Structure 1
Amino acid sequence: MAAETGKDQGLEEIVVTARKRVENLQDLGGSISALSGGDLLKRFDSDVRDFASASPNVIIDDVQQGPGGVAAIYIRGIGVADVEKSVDPAVGVVFDDIYLGQSAGSLMKAIDLDRVEVLRGPQGTLFGRNATGGVISLSRSRPTQELTGKARLTYERFHTIKAEGVVSFGVTENVAVKFTGAYESTDGYMYNRTQHRRGQKSDFGALGTQVLFTPTDALELSVSYDYQKTRQDAPVSLAVLRPTDYFCTGFGQCSPAPGVPTSGDRYTSLGNGPINKDAFFEMNMAIGKAKYDLGNDYEVQYILGYLKTKEGATQDWDGTPLTLYQTDRPARWRQTTNEVRLSKGGTGPLTFVLGGYLWDSRYTINLKNYIGLAATPLLTSSQEVTQSTKSYAGYFEGDYRITDKLKLTVGARYTHDRKTSIVNDGAINIYGTTEEVDPILTIQPSLAGGSILMAAPVKASWSKFTPKVSLSYNWTSDVMTYALWSRGYRGGGFNGRPATLSAATIPYNPETLDNYELGFKSEFLDRRLRLNGAVYMMKYKDMQQDLDVPAPGSSTGRENRTINAAKADLKGFELDLTAKPFDALTLNGNVGYLDAKYKSFFGDIYSTGTAIDASFLKIRRAPKWTWNIGATYEQDVGPGTFWISGSVHYMGAHEVTFLNNPNIKNGGQYLADASISYRVNKTTVSVFGKNLANEDGWSVGYDVQGVWSYAAPRPPRTWGVAVTQTF
């Protein structure tokens, strides 16, 4: 957490746990941005997406590809925008020391957060596989012996009502408990013109508890349990068609102009899918921790994590009033993690963390396709995919002070992954109408050419060594420079939505990223000015690419296949600034520059059956410039305290689709937020606005080659009022 250093002593000191031990942000030789508990209390964040402005070179979107919020998190141009659970994230979301292994549900709600840390660049030493681009670490408050708490009630545009609260107190001298709860209901910002009603309603509820037991001064035990459930309309897709697309030429569902959805408006849909809140996402999470102080600055810690999710959604992907392509995707996910750490702190020349890590996950998806784009009115096909991952790792990262000013950091991690996959197709049913009643023909998978039938799972394993070396030098007590080399990788695996046996059984390999970085950390003017920065060069090898390729004989005629097809170079610089010119005013800002280019890329990108040189494509979600500038002015007025905050977050023009579809491309966007608050004693009333410039950029886009493209916009301008009570 961040500790206040005193109202008249400049900026607060930011204490982080990015390296699995408590440290001052300014002492770390790496690119990290952080929000303290005090920062978060003055913000109106809904979920992880709102933290993108806190760090340069970061884009976070909800890709609208499933219930519960499917995260597309990109740091320095590296990320993943896919709902499939077979696709490992490239940026890790870590929640109270537990890594979330799927994109679905990773847009965690901003409830009871005490600290947010954004680590840029590969984190292969301490966080391991699938932290290639970086890590977003979310930490919650600890139970307290004193009676403390916070409650906030919010009303926003689109009839959005939010209520959240946390309370903590001591039960006995050695036992403290904390309870959290949240509720959110909204009518959503999309209107369905086909069904003449709002088309993105949702209800969210969450309950949680944590017990902290300290039987001795040396021993600390804690256990927490959280339950969350969302019921919602399935996310909305808008059809954005070219004149040559099949949905336009064959069905008359044409865009009125280039880049305009068939509805004519980005917040109006034409889909005929269900909008009765029958989509759902349910999460159960349990975390157990034991920490023991061994003395002499040594500490041992054990962390157990368990996460289980269930979800289901019948989703209209074609975005038209016709049933051309829809899916039903019930899925189940389960992960268990075990981690042991031995750390040494103190003021001696050597500090370190040494650990072991076990990962075990399994998921099943029962996919059903509803296809009306062929000659028949309706065809349904089904597929069940079950995949499992077992992984173990050992890691070390230590600092050695060669002199009082010079520090060497060395880290390494060895990881072994083992994955299995089994895929089986179900029967194909053909109906005489668009209703799924009384099929006129049923084709069993054993008779359908091209169907996948597997009696046993296929298996594959990989091992990786990911080192890190850093050298830092303190020129003064307030100025430090560092040089860093680190390596990260994203695990290999099996395709999660194959249409052919070869795609189901042939694995793709891990991808690796080497990061070379020079940076500095500095504070000036009696800690009233903090400026941190870095320049970097990253080398991407065996880059995993998802290609939409022909699959003759299958029910859809095509499949999505992951291959190791590309190399890329990503380079740029970042600056992070915080200033307090006088006690009432705090300024903050950041700027990031990114030059991301494929060095080589050979693949069948146009679904012709022939691979070509595709290195001319631009990397998705990699704008050249991102920046944020904000200010907070706080002053005592009458019986209370008044403050006003505002910020502008800029994201430069960037590609959204893999094939750089010019109709689904974002220009530069200015996301402006502002709030006015007044606090009397422990009660605060706030009025706020988000995306005040009403930017309607695309948050997702996908091309089905020659058939259609779909997209979804970011949330429009929103305003609201909030009442916060602390005690």
Structure 2
Amino acid sequence: MAQDSPGDYDGIPAGGPAIHWDRFPAGQIWYQLVQDRDNRMAPGVVHCGGGDGPQPQGLFEAPVNWVELAKAPHPLLPAKASAGRVTQIRPLGPYPRWRAGGEPEARTTRPTSFAGLCSANICSILMTVKRPANVSSDLRSGRRRLLRTTFRLGGIHMRAGLNFLSARGVVLGGLLALIGAEAVAQETERQAAVLEEVTVTARKVRENLQDTPVAITAMSGDALEQRQVFQTDKLTQVVPNLQFGTNAPLAGNNASSQVFIRGIGQTDPTSTVDPGVGLYIDDVYIGSAVGARMDLRDINNVQVLRGPQGTLFGRNTIGGAILMSTADPGDKFGGAVRGGFGSDKLFDGFLALNAPLSDTLKARFTAGRRKQDGYVTRTDGTDLGDTNTYTLTSKFVWKPTEKLEARWLADYSHADEHGSPLVFASINTAATFPRVASAAAGCPGFNGNFRTLPAVPNIPDDRCANNFQNRGPFHNNGTTPLTSRLEGWGSSLNVGYDFTDFTALKFITAYRRLSWLGNRDADNTPLTILNTFYNVKGWQSSQELQLTYLRKPVTGVVGAYYFQQKSHDIV
């Protein structure tokens, strides 16, 4: 195949899209997007990378998304980077398209077949190949199935799902050997030099992560899903300096949380104590530690800000802040369904529906359900550590003009579970509380008075608080009735108006109500030594006004914030 004759690809049939780039005469390169037969010109790029022009990007993701998500790579977005920052982007549209035989035409009437590789000067090739629809029936019946797999050659990926073997398939595999070590090294270096731009709101304005003087870890919803992070306490696995754990052993409620950043946080779940790390969902502060441990079902992105954030986020962010944003409604009617099953009768389901109601109004509705048996068993057969939750959300986005946008959100959460999965470790038999409880229960030797003995006798009797209460690593010997319930709902309205390209006004009002119940039997014995009961009902209301200015090198925020919270606790 000659470098200046993309039509020569038509001699080798296959059935899927591919992207190939190589040197074009006069120091240019061209693209061959084979399934739709369109070629793309990228001026100013020399052989295998470099030059004044922007470099091709996303060469591996483009054919994968084309096949798996039916998203054609149009347009391509080559970019040029300097010192790790993108300095130039030039969209590449199809010009011209080619049909079988190499003759250009205005458009393609049907997908045509793929051709193979080029000359020995090949720079890189990325392809996805599958059985062509026009293969004759006798060839289909005799094909041999191969496993769909992914190959990696240095910095070059090839994803293939081959359903048949033929002479051309052998040629295709043989030609991969033409990829030289020097070309692979250059491709790897080029990909490493260009970083994807990440937009954050750590300073109340939308700006590039690299331009923000704050220690931030930002992750998209897709990145969290790829890493199997489906609950807030799992953020600990992917965010440095963050400990996001459950506080159920203290609160008795499985939705209770204790969050620390750089060692600063708070363990007390009661309403009279403020968290040391602030949690914000769609710009609304969540004022209770109970309810912060939740499922990450419909998340657009998560930003973790390390260090004191009191200047912009208030008094409860001495350790840092966690900002979560939910997914926006789509432009087209549709949705997504996810489901999973696992051990201990796990069921996890999620449904999302996008509904564009008009040209200016869009809506998104979601529902999630998670249920799983517990893994710690009590003597009465109750399983602890179980999960039984469901959530409902809705989000409306109204944008009547380019300058005005309003967002209305509502959510509801419900949980009804058995309690925290505590097990017995050990007990100080000389402590006062175990002796008092044992004497009251009739433990032999006390004769009804805890002062009779200096320690609880070490005998196998459930009336005695000693280490014989240990029933194993997954068994609890407690008898106090346990429960972990939560019901919460909230709504918020976020209105933004752009006065200019640099100045914007935002108003946020929100209301949330939460009630939860947590019973705890922390001694794990039939005795009453350390039992706690929480019955909490409360609400919070907040209003915020922001005026932001962003025009380099000046960034400014002026605003007012009002927050009120009331809680009725029975402890």
Same fold (TM > 0.5): yes
Contact 1:255 1:264 (8 Å CA) reproduced: no
**Post-superposition shift, 1:315?**
2.7
- 1:287-298 correspondence to structure 2 within 5 Å: 287-298=492-503
**Post-superposition shift, 1:28?**
1.4
CA RMSD of aligned residues (A): 2.5
**Post-superposition shift, 1:93?**
1.0
CA distance in 2, matches of 1:337, 1:356: 11
Are the structure 2 counterparts of residues 281 and 313 from structure 1 closer, same or farther at C-alpha, using a change threshold of 3 Å? same
**Post-superposition shift, 1:329?**
2.0
**Post-superposition shift, 1:85?**
1.0
Are the structure 2 counterparts of residues 349 and 12 from structure 1 closer, same or farther at C-alpha, using a change threshold of 3 Å? closer
Correspondence for 2:517: 312
Q: Secondary structure at the match of 2:224?
A: helix
Query: Which letter maps to 2:58?
Result: G
Are the structure 2 counterparts of residues 305 and 327 from structure 1 closer, same or farther at C-alpha, using a change threshold of 3 Å? same
CA distance in 1, matches of 2:258, 2:310: 20
CA distance in 2, matches of 1:85, 1:261: 37
CA distance in 1, matches of 2:317, 2:542: 16
* Pair 1:106-2:292 in alignment: yes
Contact 1:35 1:54 (8 Å CA) reproduced: no
- 1:354-373 correspondence to structure 2 within 5 Å: 354-367=558-571
Contact 1:60 1:71 (8 Å CA) reproduced: yes
Are the structure 2 counterparts of residues 343 and 241 from structure 1 closer, same or farther at C-alpha, using a change threshold of 3 Å? same
**Post-superposition shift, 1:235?**
2.1
Correspondence for 1:463: none
- 1:633-691 residue CA offsets vs partner (Å, 9 max, x unmatched): xxxxxxxxxxxxxxxxxxxxxxxxxxxxxxxxxxxxxxxxxxxxxxxxxxxxxxxxxxx
Identity of aligned residues (%): 28
**Post-superposition shift, 1:23?**
1.4
CA distance in 1, matches of 2:230, 2:459: 33
Contact 1:40 1:114 (8 Å CA) reproduced: no
Correspondence for 2:556: 352
**Post-superposition shift, 1:69?**
1.2
**Post-superposition shift, 1:68?**
4.6
- 1:591-610 correspondence to structure 2 within 5 Å: none
- 1:193-246 residue CA offsets vs partner (Å, 9 max, x unmatched): x21342333310111111111111211111111000000112244444224233
Correspondence for 2:349: 163
- 1:136-535 correspondence to structure 2 within 5 Å: 136-192=322-378, 194-239=379-424, 240-250=426-436, 251=438, 252=456, 262-275=469-482, 278-346=483-551, 348-367=552-571
Query: Which letter maps to 2:568?
Result: T
**Post-superposition shift, 1:247?**
4.9
Query: Which letter maps to 1:50?
Result: K
CA distance in 2, matches of 1:152, 1:316: 36
Correspondence for 1:44: 228
Are the structure 2 counterparts of residues 261 and 95 from structure 1 closer, same or farther at C-alpha, using a change threshold of 3 Å? farther
CA distance in 1, matches of 2:459, 2:429: 8
Correspondence for 1:53: 237
- Choose from 128, 131, 134 the match for 2:317: 131
CA distance in 2, matches of 1:253, 1:183: 48
Query: Which letter maps to 1:147?
Result: F
Query: Which letter maps to 1:328?
Result: F
**Post-superposition shift, 1:342?**
0.8
CA distance in 2, matches of 1:351, 1:201: 48
* Pair 1:6-2:58 in alignment: yes
- 1:371-426 residue CA offsets vs partner (Å, 9 max, x unmatched): xxxxxxxxxxxxxxxxxxxxxxxxxxxxxxxxxxxxxxxxxxxxxxxxxxxxxxxx
Are the structure 2 counterparts of residues 254 and 72 from structure 1 closer, same or farther at C-alpha, using a change threshold of 3 Å? farther
Contact 1:284 1:307 (8 Å CA) reproduced: yes
- 1:47-89 residue CA offsets vs partner (Å, 9 max, x unmatched): 1111112222221210112325111111111111122111100
Contact 1:243 1:249 (8 Å CA) reproduced: yes
**Aligned positions, number:** 358
Are the structure 2 counterparts of residues 43 and 150 from structure 1 closer, same or farther at C-alpha, using a change threshold of 3 Å? farther
Gaps of 5+ in 1: 368-727
CA distance in 2, matches of 1:261, 1:106: 37
Contact 2:382 2:418 (8 Å CA) reproduced: no
- 1:81-124 residue CA offsets vs partner (Å, 9 max, x unmatched): 12211110001111111111111001121110111111111101
Contact 1:5 1:13 (8 Å CA) reproduced: no
Contact 1:331 1:366 (8 Å CA) reproduced: yes
Q: Which runs of 4+ in 1 moved over 6 A?
A: 253-256
Are the structure 2 counterparts of residues 319 and 165 from structure 1 closer, same or farther at C-alpha, using a change threshold of 3 Å? same
CA distance in 1, matches of 2:459, 2:411: 44
Contact 1:76 1:121 (8 Å CA) reproduced: yes
Contact 2:390 2:415 (8 Å CA) reproduced: yes
- 1:612-623 correspondence to structure 2 within 5 Å: none
CA distance in 1, matches of 2:232, 2:458: 35
Q: Which has the higher strand share?
A: 1
**Post-superposition shift, 1:7?**
4.5
CA distance in 1, matches of 2:469, 2:333: 55
TM-score w.r.t. structure 1 length?
A: 0.47
CA distance in 2, matches of 1:7, 1:79: 44
Contact 1:241 1:254 (8 Å CA) reproduced: no
Are the structure 2 counterparts of residues 81 and 23 from structure 1 closer, same or farther at C-alpha, using a change threshold of 3 Å? same
Q: Secondary structure at the match of 1:227?
A: strand
Query: Which letter maps to 1:26?
Result: Q
Are the structure 2 counterparts of residues 354 and 319 from structure 1 closer, same or farther at C-alpha, using a change threshold of 3 Å? same
Query: Which letter maps to 1:55?
Result: V
**Post-superposition shift, 1:364?**
0.5
Q: Secondary structure at the match of 2:313?
A: coil
**Post-superposition shift, 1:350?**
1.9
**Post-superposition shift, 1:341?**
0.6
CA distance in 1, matches of 2:303, 2:339: 26
Query: Which letter maps to 2:369?
Result: Y
Query: Which letter maps to 2:569?
Result: I
Are the structure 2 counterparts of residues 84 and 261 from structure 1 closer, same or farther at C-alpha, using a change threshold of 3 Å? farther
CA distance in 2, matches of 1:196, 1:286: 39
CA distance in 1, matches of 2:296, 2:420: 21
Tell me: higher relative CO, structure 1 or 2? Use CA pairs within 8 A at least 6 residues apart: 1
Correspondence for 2:218: 34
Query: Which letter maps to 1:162?
Result: D
- 1:267-286 residue CA offsets vs partner (Å, 9 max, x unmatched): 321111225xx531001110
Are the structure 2 counterparts of residues 253 and 119 from structure 1 closer, same or farther at C-alpha, using a change threshold of 3 Å? farther
**Post-superposition shift, 1:146?**
1.6
TM-score w.r.t. structure 2 length?
A: 0.59
**Post-superposition shift, 1:293?**
1.1
Q: Secondary structure at the match of 2:240?
A: coil
CA distance in 1, matches of 2:284, 2:470: 42
Are the structure 2 counterparts of residues 5 and 167 from structure 1 closer, same or farther at C-alpha, using a change threshold of 3 Å? farther
Moved more, 288-297 or 312-321: 312-321
CA distance in 2, matches of 1:134, 1:219: 31
**Post-superposition shift, 1:131?**
0.4
Contact 1:5 1:12 (8 Å CA) reproduced: no
Q: Secondary structure at the match of 1:313?
A: strand
**Post-superposition shift, 1:249?**
4.2
**Post-superposition shift, 1:314?**
3.1
Contact 1:303 1:340 (8 Å CA) reproduced: yes
